[in-house]
C-alpha cells in the first residue's frame, strides 16, 4: 500500500538528506495515519536510525537549519521552506515512570514501533509512499479501530496521559458504530488513579482536542463509565453532549461550548483567563431564560450562540425560531446613551440612571432612541 500527498513531496529533501548518507528515513505516525484515512495532514514526523547529533551534522552540511528540540530523547527539528520536520532516532524504552521514559537509541524500526501508543500511530512510510506496518496496524486504520500497541495496561502505566489520548483518538478517528476496544476500556478504568500524576496543562490540552472532535459524545460517555471523566472534570454530566451535537447541525465544533454543556469543575484543565471568563459568563446565562437577541447584546455573538445551543440541549427543547439572526441582531445593537448625555448626574447616580435606561432600551427590543431614553 502506498500513500501520497503534497506534504510527502515537500518532505523529500529531508528524507533524501538522511537516505543519501545510508540511513533509514521514514515518515511516521499521524501523517501516515491521516493519509490512509483521507484526513488532512498537518505535522510531518520522521523516524531514522541516524543518531541525533549526526542528523544535525548532516543538516548543517545540507544547508538546512537544525534545532535541537529534544536531543536527550533523540529529536532534532529540521526547517525547510518554512516547514518544521521533527526527526527522531529509532528508540526503545529502557525504563518508564508513568509520565516519561528513559530511552535508548535503536536501529530496529520494529523496536521503535513497539514503544508507540496505538497501532494506528505505529505506521511508517518510505519516501516513495510505501507503507511499512511492523505491528499490524493497517487493519485497525481501515476499520477505524483505536487499539493500544501490545498490552493496554503496560502502555498506560508507561504514561498515564495515554488514557486521555485513547478517548481523544477514539473521538477523532474511531468508528463509534463498532464500540470502543474492551481491553483498552478495562485498562483505562483500572489505571484511572494515575491521571492524578499528570499536569493540568497536559490534561487541558488533551481535553480541548477531544471536545473539538466532530462528535465527542460516545467517547465522553465511555470516559464517564470508566471513571475517567470524574477525574478530569468532577461533577460533569456526559449525557447532554449527544443532544448538543445533534442541535449543532454542522456548526464548527467548539471545545468551550461542549465544556459549557458538560458542567463540572475545571480546575484540572488549566483554562486560560479568557476561557475561564467566557465559561463563567456562559454558565451564568444558562440559568436565565434570556432571549437570543439580548444574549447577543450582552455576551457577543459567539458566546450567545453557545448558550442558546447548550440551553436547548439541557432542557431537551427545540431551538427558538430565527435564533441565529436574533443573536446577530442583538450583537450588532449599540446602546444609544453615554455618560456625557447625562451631565447633571455623577457617581453612583449616573451609573444607576444608565443602567435603568439600558434596561428600558433592551425591553423595547432595542427600539428606543436617545430622545426617548432622555425624555
Q: How confident is the model over 274-312, as pLDDT tens digits? A: 999 999 999 999 988 999 999 999 999 999 999 999 999
Return the pLDDT at 3: 97
Q: What is the CATH number of the domain that holds 90?
A: 3.30.460.10
Q: What is the pLDDT of residues 9-28, one digit of tens each?
A: 999 999 999 999 999 999 99
- Distance, CA of 55 to CA of 23 (rounded, Å): 10
Q: Which residues of the chain have pLDDT under 50?
A: none
Return the pLDDT at 110: 93
End of a domain among 97, 126, 143? 143
End of a domain among 113, 143, 173? 143
Percentage of residues in the chain having pLDDT higher than 70: 97
Return the pLDDT at 122: 97
Q: Parallel, antiparallel, or unpaired: how do β-strands 75-80 and 45-48 relate?
A: unpaired
Q: Which residues contact 314 (CB under 8 A, 6 or more apart)?
A: 240, 261, 286
Return the pLDDT at 347: 95
Q: Three-state SS for 150?
A: coil
User: Which of these, 149, 41, 165, 161, lies nearest to 92 by C-alpha position?
Assistant: 149
Task: Give the cell for residue 31.
Answer: 501523517
Position 118 in a domain: yes
Cα–Cα separations (whole angstroms), residue 234 to 262, 282, 308: 10, 19, 24
Position 3 in a domain: yes
Return the pLDDT at 100: 59
Task: Give the cell for residue 346.
Answer: 455623577
Return the pLDDT at 283: 97
User: Which of these, 70, 99, 98, 75, lies nearest to 87 by C-alpha position?
Assistant: 75
Cα–Cα separations (whole angstroms), residue 101 to 74, 85, 92: 12, 22, 10
Position 102 in a domain: yes
Range of the domain at 350: 337-374
Q: Parallel, antiparallel, or unpaired: how do β-strands 65-70 and 91-96 relate?
A: unpaired
Contact 131, 1 (CB under 8 A): yes
Return the pLDDT at 87: 96
Contact 14, 50 (CB under 8 A): no
Q: What's the domain count of the chain?
A: 2
End of a domain among 143, 175, 193? 143
The count of other CB atoms within 10 Å of the CB of residue 44 is 22
Position 83 in a domain: yes
Return the pLDDT at 98: 52
Position 32 in a domain: yes
Position 10 in a domain: yes
- Distance, CA of 2 to CA of 6 (rounded, Å): 14
Q: Three-state SS for 89?
A: strand
Position 44 in a domain: yes
Position 68 in a domain: yes
Q: Which residues contact 336 (CB under 8 A, 6 or more apart)?
A: 361, 368, 369, 370, 373
Amino acid at each position: 500500500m502506498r500513500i501520497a500527498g503534497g506534504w510527502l513531496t515537500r518532505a523529500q529533501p529531508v528524507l533524501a538528506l538522511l537516505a543519501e548518507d545510508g540511513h533509514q528515513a521514514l515518515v511516521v505516525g499521524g501523517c501516515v495515519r491521516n493519509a490512509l484515512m483521507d484526513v488532512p495532514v498537518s505535522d510531518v514526523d520522521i523516524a531514522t536510525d541516524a543518531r541525533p547529533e549526526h542528523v544535525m551534522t548532516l543538516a548543517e552540511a545540507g544547508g538546512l537549519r537544525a534545532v535541537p528540540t529534544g536531543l536527550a530523547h533523540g529529536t532534532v527539528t529540521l526547517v525547510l521552506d518554512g516547514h518544521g520536520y521533527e526527526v527522531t532516532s529509532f528508540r526503545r524504552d529502557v525504563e518508564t515512570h508513568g509520565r516519561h521514559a528513559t530511552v535508548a537509541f535503536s536501529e530496529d524500526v520494529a523496536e521503535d514501533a513497539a514503544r508507540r501508543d496505538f497501532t494506528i500511530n505505529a505506521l511508517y512510510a518510505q519516501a516513495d509512499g510505501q507503507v511499512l506496518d511492523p505491528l499490524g496496524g493497517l487493519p485497525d486504520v481501515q476499520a477505524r479501530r483505536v487499539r493500544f500497541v501490545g498490552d493496554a495496561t503496560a502502555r498506560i502505566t508507561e504514561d498515564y496521559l495515554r488514557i486521555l489520548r485513547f478517548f481523544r483518538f477514539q473521538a477523532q478517528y474511531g468508528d463509534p458504530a463498532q464500540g470502543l476496544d474492551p481491553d483498552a476500556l478495562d485498562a483505562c478504568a483500572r489505571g484511572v488513579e494515575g491521571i492524578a500524576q499528570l499536569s493540568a496543562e497536559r490534561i487541558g490540552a488533551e481535553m480541548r482536542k477531544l471536545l473539538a472532535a466532530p462528535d465527542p459524545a460516545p467517547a465522553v460517555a465511555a470516559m464517564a463509565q470508566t471513571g475517567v471523566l470524574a477525574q478530569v472534570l468532577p461533577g460533569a454530566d456526559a449525557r447532554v453532549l449527544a443532544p448538543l451535537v445533534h442541535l449543532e447541525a454542522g456548526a464548527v465544533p467548539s471545545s468551550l461550548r461542549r465544556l459549557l454543556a458538560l458542567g463540572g469543575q475545571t480546575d484540572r484543565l488549566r483554562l486560560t483567563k479568557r476561557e475561564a471568563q467566557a465559561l463563567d459568563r456562559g454558565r451564568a446565562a444558562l440559568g436565565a431564560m434570556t432571549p437570543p437577541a439580548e444574549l447577543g447584546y450582552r455576551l457577543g455573538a459567539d458566546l450567545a450562540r453557545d448558550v442558546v445551543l447548550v440551553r436547548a440541549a439541557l432542557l431537551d427543547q427545540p431551538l427558538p425560531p430565527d435564533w441565529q439572526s436574533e443573536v446577530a441582531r442583538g450583537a450588532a445593537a449599540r446602546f444609544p446613551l453615554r455618560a456625557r448625555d447625562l451631565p447633571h448626574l455623577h457617581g453612583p447616580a449616573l451609573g444607576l440612571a444608565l443602567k435603568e435606561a439600558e434596561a428600558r432600551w433592551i425591553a423595547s427590543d432595542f427600539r428606543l432612541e436617545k430622545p426617548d431614553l432622555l425624555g
